[in-house]
Structure 1
Amino acid sequence: MENIKILPKSLIDILVKIMKRSLFLGVCMLTLTGIAHSQNGGSITGTVTSELNGSPLTGVNVLLEGTRFGTTTDADGTFAIANVPEGSYELQFSFIGYQEKVSSVDVNAGSVTEVEIELTARSTEMQEIIVKGRALNLIGVSESASQGKVGRAEFINRPLLRTGEVMETVPGLIASQHSGTGKANQFYLRGFNLDHGTDFAASLEGVPLNLRTHGHGQGYLDLNLLIPELVNTIEFRKGPYYAEVGDFATSGSADIELVSELPEPILRTEAGLDEYYRGLFANSSRVGDKSVLYALNAQYYNGPFDVPENTAQYSGVVKLSGGSSSNGYSVSALGYTSDWNSSDQIPRGAVETGYISRFGAIDSTAGGETDRYKLIANWWNTNDSYGRTEATVYASYYRLNLFSNFTYFLNNPERGDQFEQADRRFYGGARISHEWFTNWFGRRTVNKVGADLRHDQIFDIGLYNTENRQRWSTVRDDEIGESSIGTYFENETQWTGKLQTNIGLRADLFYFDVNSNINVNSGSETDIILSPKFNIVLGPWNDTEFYINTGLGYHSNDARGTTIQVDPVTRDAVSGVDPLVRSQGAEVGVRTAAIQGLQSSLTFFYLGLDSELVFVGDAGGTEASDASEHIGFEWANYYRPTNWLQLNLDVALTESRYRNVSADSDKIPNSIGRIITGGVTFNPTEGWFNTFRLRHFGPRPLIETGDVRSEATTLLNFKTGYDFGTMQVDLDMLNILNAASPDISYYYTSRFHGASTESSDIHFHPVIPRTLRMSITLKF
């Protein structure tokens, strides 16, 4: 069992020491008192509607003044606050675009108090107000300043070059690309070069999307199966402070929820420059008290590259939902298939000498193909006496064949260095949690226990030398079984009206079984890790809260690295890596909604990792490196001064370093120190909508000494459109300044055909030049 490590910062040291000494005693005491004390409170339920048309309002903040007891309304405009101590209270209702309202309620033990509220719009000209993007007020709800939730309107009105850019609704996160459109995006957050997902955990409908022990990169996260129009919300959490999230959640995590119903059927067609075409049909139908959502999506893109991408992507969704937000279920089936030619990064020297153009390729036969199919079942039940139970069961099939060539003719001047990474697997699992309310000496306490189980049966994970996508030798070929089980306990206690603590403890057990074509590299490993969490919430004062968060987390390593004994190429003896790698995090933050229409948060954070995973150019994947630390701050702002204007600005500055190495070689390659994103959305008249989006990520070191650095990248995108009611027309202008910047940069040694010698150079993937895309959506 791995020891719990202490963070190397004085404030963090104190917090973690207190947490270590009190956690187990606190868990035992709170569990016992939860059993010993009967539920002697009452419940408040109600419905919030708009005075304009009587329609339910989703996302209204409901708060018991003088306490942190609160919630938000669901899709039906309903809310419920369970186990409220007996007494008289003032209920505060707040929603951007509407006037605040306060209602007096009396709560009696064992009874349910029902409330019906109508909110008045601030402008009598408003016909309907819905939660747009990040307008949701999280005062009294969130556990940290870096936690948040964005809604469907944020994706509908945002100009998107790629599907994966929906994740850029998370403040401080950038999604880029170093290969073809069909491949997973590159992600950056809090100074981490997350490659294709390592150290950022994402889930869809409660099902983990990161693929561990992946053929291309650990924690591979491909979001191309998403249909942006069907994303309902993205709830994000940064840092390892939440017990219900396990593997890969060091820098953060996000849970993506799909809509259950659409207001009307939609038929969408898109076309743009560089042979971009897309078609979408989506609809939902009522069958009794159930809703059936179904959609088909097809997309084709060649891009501006000399070797056309020829990317074809097809996806489909069927989702059956029943019940309400309190008691209900859903069953979802998703499918996705794609094939493409890669537009991989190219050496800068080859462009400068005229060997290839900026959109050229050294190896014209690189590319890939992938399939994935998912079946997900969710069930939830809420009971005033017993609490809330949620369960998820899922099964998924996945396949990837990826052909890459990053060093061209460096290692094999005759046949070239192209290689294939293959991955074919089935993975499935289940998650269950139960949350209940108790009173501890008159203080409201929420307890939550949960468990998750996952097994990956990887039938084929291999690395092969290829030429023109034809295998000519095997580097390694493995069959792997990887299983894990995680359990956790969380406790939230409201000590006073201005003080709340959240403590948690998570335990994870992993089992790796590797059957390799190189016998000495076969074997099995088992590892267990404990991850305690401790959070403090202070306030609110004048709609402002303060947070202190600390916790330990982890990421798993590739199973092949845990049993390896000899290098598959040289057959030299090598040492294996730790199966589970410890991470540490702490942050101090503040969130305010004191100014009407403004949601603002400021966070100072520290993240440490016992072994950073970095991209290796000649292998096309990630490998374990030295211990690291990331220190920085984030400032996130969403402002809606009027009904027709919304502004947002997010700034993230981070300093990232390797630990325990000399100061002249402690830079982490591709760790971004500056990310600035912002947007302006204005709807001057009914029907019109316009959005500007700015994406900026600063220069970054490409080698450990910092002597070689990448360029900064700044892009400005624009979307405009008009909604006629039954038809909507959109125009997207992407990279409207026609910036000739890199989307990604690396520094390593390669040799292209015809070059007399090898050379170390910056290898980059260019951003897409200015492009236009137009879409017509029929709603019927």
Structure 2
Amino acid sequence: MRIAARSGAAAACLLSGQAMAGGLQTVPVELAPVEIRASANTARSSASEGTVTAEQLANRPRLRPGELLEVVPGLIVTQHSGDGKANQYFLRGFNLDHGTDFRTTVGGMPVNMPTHGHGQGYTDLGFVIPELVSSIEYRKGSYYAEEGDFSAAGAAHLELMQQLPRPLSTVEIGEDGYRRVLAAGSGAVGAGTLLAAVEASTQDGPWTVPEDTEKYNALLRYGWRNNAGAWSVTGMAYSNRWTATDQIPQRAVDSGQIGRFDSLDDSTGGDSHRYSLSLDWARGKETSETRATAYFVDYDLDLFSNFTYFLDKPADGDQFEQVDQRRYGGLGLVHEHHGEWLGRHMHQRLGLDLRYDDIGEVGLHRTVRRQRLSTVREDGVEQLSAGAWYSNSIEWNKAFRSVLGLRADHYRVDVDSDNAANSGKADDAILSPKLSLIWSPTSQTHVFLNGGYGFHSNDARGATITVVPGSNPVEPADKVDLLVRAKSYEVGLQTRLLPSLQTALTLWQLDLDSELLFIGDAGNTEATRPSRRQGIEFSNYWTPHKGLIVDADLAWSRPRFRDSDPAGDRIPGAVERTASVGVVLNGWKGWFGGARLRYLGSRPLIEDNAVRASSSTLVNLRGGYAFSPRLRVSLDVFNVFDRDVNDIEYYYESRLPGETPVQDPPVGVEDRHFHPAEPRSVRLGLTAYW
């Protein structure tokens, strides 16, 4: 993979407009990558990091915006409900649920949400317009001082464009009611550049109960330079509503009671919005640079789910509502300095991260057809996090470099619960040292030895809880630690076997003091046992000709619980094998396109490994032709071979109407529950440039 060292979100965004002005002539939207060439002191510090450029993103077939993250080698993105809900992510032996242990930012703003109504670290990328992403920088492991909460498995940072070569309009239509329109453009306004974009889309999907998704996105960005530095102000707005098809029980499909694309509750779904405002600033001198990002986000999710059907409430059904209403804001500050120490080049970086979440309501309610029956739990939460970090890179000689890092984080939460017994305050702090050693025997070969500590936060409500919500009689509940230690090691090799072929091989291990698992009957995550993951990753990036990109990634992992338990040591849902192969053609006599094969391997669904999820292999295609620099047409085909595979599988207890006698406590049937991957579908797009 071609690597470009990032010199900062704000600076890169402002530079991108100039760099991209010379984009591909036959297909103007496929912009040239933003590259800032780096000396050894700012090069990568592990074999598990890299930067994906706009050139690599162009013409990758993708069913959903969240699949942008599949450019991270070994990462798989799926969905287990409607397309208004955050995606499901798999990486390095994790079922990351909706983002736990994988940190994501967009334009410098953190996307993961702590103490979220549907799961810790919830990451919804529905607000991203893919055509406006200029690059994605990714890292895996706990070796980077700048990466904080939720980054134990890795992190990805999506940067946004500052300007487009020319305005564009896109219209897309497809099967199952898919419609999408996009209009975007940029131009000089005053002393700077203004970028504006609006997007609207709708679809029903292949489901018996139509999704009826209505999604709207808008972006307005203004960047300028003055004697104080480079500035960028970005406003984003996102709104979505949908009807969902949650996972369904295998026994109901096998018996013919329902089909693969049916639902057992046609009123699940939800609505969500996200409005944000951010300010980026960067100022550089000959030997130093300072960058800052400030942001404010208004967010709301109202989500209705039903995973157990008629287990707990045989008369009314088990539908529940999860609510998350919050405003959060923060500041990120980075200062870098290049200098000499004892005749050796030294690169120092110092950073500060501040974030405050004011969660007006995070609640769980029992419902029937989206009408509330009762409240299980309703809380208001204030959460403050602060992190300071330092990184020091020294070139000891031309072949050897070290990177030493240290991060300190402090969290404070205040929970105001509808049950006074669960209200309270808690705080926690954690120190995370990091070390990377890099040996470069040749200019084309690098060997990396990495080790470091990281962490993830637990739901604030778990840190103050004393009784089980809704229990009668009252049951005591155990508190969890607010911050949970992660520890990882890695040995990696990166080399160029040929001038156009870059290969990376990595052996890694990751320990967590407490695992976060998705609980099917509650629709939430829960802190459980300590775990260890070990694995091997093999990735290749080949550019045999200009405009032609081939990549291939293989990943194997061994995830296990570390403690002794009669239930077993397998981690439910933890991925063990992934693979992907892709080809992108960015322009040949007017033609362009891409093809991707994605493999998600079998994995255990219960601790003793007696039940496993089936593997899945999907192939997606994209092709098109540019009739002129102003007009092009594209065709996407998803699930080309129409495979009957599943996006997600769980194993838990549920009850169909009349299936088992009504008892107290309720008794259901343990079964495999799955959400099918969408069948073959076709989308046609037309883009005009003005």
> What is the TM-score with the length of structure 1 in the denominator?
0.83
State the 4+ residue runs in structure 1 displaced beyond 6 angstroms: 58-62, 125-139
Distance 1:211-1:128 versus aligned 2 partners, 3 A rule: closer
SS at match of 2:641: coil
Distance 1:473-1:662 versus aligned 2 partners, 3 A rule: closer
Matches of residues 613-624 of structure 1 in structure 2 within 5 Å?
613-624=516-527
1:322 Cα deviation (Å)?
Answer: 1.6
| Amino acid aligned to 1:454 | R
SS at match of 1:560: helix
Matches of residues 339-738 of structure 1 in structure 2 within 5 Å?
339-384=241-286, 387-570=288-471, 571-662=474-565, 665-682=568-585, 685-724=588-627, 725-738=629-642
1:598 Cα deviation (Å)?
Answer: 1.0
1:496 Cα deviation (Å)?
Answer: 0.6
Aligned to 1:744: 648
SS at match of 1:536: strand
What per-residue deviation string (whole Å, max 9, x for no partner) do you get for residues 302-333 of structure 1? 00101001111001000111239994111000
1:127 Cα deviation (Å)?
Answer: 12
1:77 Cα deviation (Å)?
Answer: 7.8
SS at match of 2:201: strand
**How far apart are the structure 1 equivalents of 2:251 and 2:561?**
29
1:151 Cα deviation (Å)?
Answer: 1.3
1:728 Cα deviation (Å)?
Answer: 1.0
Give the alignment's Cα RMSD to 1 decimal.
2.6
What per-residue deviation string (whole Å, max 9, x for no partner) do you get for residues 121-169 of structure 1? xxxx999999878999989421110101111233330111111000001
1:61 Cα deviation (Å)?
Answer: 8.9
Matches of residues 129-148 of structure 1 in structure 2 within 5 Å?
140=40, 141-148=43-50
What per-residue deviation string (whole Å, max 9, x for no partner) do you get for residues 431-461 of structure 1? 1111112211111111111111110000111
Matches of residues 141-160 of structure 1 in structure 2 within 5 Å?
141-160=43-62
SS at match of 2:498: coil
What per-residue deviation string (whole Å, max 9, x for no partner) do you get for residues 194-235 of structure 1? 100000000111111100000000000000000000000000
Distance 1:466-1:282 versus aligned 2 partners, 3 A rule: same
SS at match of 2:536: strand
**How far apart are the structure 2 equivalents of 1:426 and 1:468?**
28
What per-residue deviation string (whole Å, max 9, x for no partner) do you get for residues 742-771 of structure 1? 100000000122424521110000000000
Matches of residues 236-255 of structure 1 in structure 2 within 5 Å?
236-255=138-157
Distance 1:548-1:160 versus aligned 2 partners, 3 A rule: same
1:593 Cα deviation (Å)?
Answer: 2.3
SS at match of 2:128: coil
Aligned to 1:190: 92
Distance 1:437-1:645 versus aligned 2 partners, 3 A rule: closer
CA contact (8 A) 2:16 2:162 kept: no
| Amino acid aligned to 1:688 | W
| Amino acid aligned to 1:748 | Y
Structure 1 residue ranges without an equivalent (≥5) = 1-57, 63-70, 79-124
CA contact (8 A) 2:379 2:416 kept: yes
Structure 2 residue ranges without an equivalent (≥5) = 7-11, 20-24, 662-667
SS at match of 1:593: strand
Distance 1:544-1:354 versus aligned 2 partners, 3 A rule: same
| Amino acid aligned to 1:343 | T
CA contact (8 A) 1:346 1:763 kept: yes
1:285 Cα deviation (Å)?
Answer: 0.9
- What fraction of aligned residue pairs are identical, expressed as a percent? 43
Distance 1:507-1:389 versus aligned 2 partners, 3 A rule: same
1:596 Cα deviation (Å)?
Answer: 1.2
Matches of residues 174-185 of structure 1 in structure 2 within 5 Å?
174-185=76-87
Distance 1:530-1:469 versus aligned 2 partners, 3 A rule: same
**How far apart are the structure 2 equivalents of 1:637 and 1:128?**
27
Distance 1:362-1:76 versus aligned 2 partners, 3 A rule: closer
CA contact (8 A) 1:135 1:638 kept: no
What per-residue deviation string (whole Å, max 9, x for no partner) do you get for residues 713-737 of structure 1? 1000000001121111000000000
CA contact (8 A) 1:344 1:361 kept: yes
CA contact (8 A) 2:17 2:164 kept: no
**How far apart are the structure 1 equivalents of 2:28 and 2:419?**
65
Matches of residues 247-286 of structure 1 in structure 2 within 5 Å?
247-286=149-188
**How far apart are the structure 2 equivalents of 1:259 and 1:630?**
36
Distance 1:60-1:579 versus aligned 2 partners, 3 A rule: closer
Matches of residues 26-105 of structure 1 in structure 2 within 5 Å?
75=16
Structure ranking higher on relative contact order (CA contacts 8 Å, 6+ apart)? 2
**How far apart are the structure 2 equivalents of 1:366 and 1:76?**
43
**How far apart are the structure 1 equivalents of 2:567 and 2:270?**
39
Distance 1:134-1:187 versus aligned 2 partners, 3 A rule: farther
CA contact (8 A) 2:16 2:163 kept: no
1:169 and 2:77 aligned: no
> What is the TM-score with the length of structure 2 in the denominator?
0.93
SS at match of 2:588: coil
Residue in structure 2 matching 1:755, options 639, 643, 659: 659
CA contact (8 A) 1:611 1:628 kept: yes
Range moving further from structure 2, 656-665 or 641-650: 656-665
What per-residue deviation string (whole Å, max 9, x for no partner) do you get for residues 361-413 of structure 1? 0111111100110000010100125x111111111100000000000000110
| Amino acid aligned to 1:317 | L
1:580 Cα deviation (Å)?
Answer: 0.2
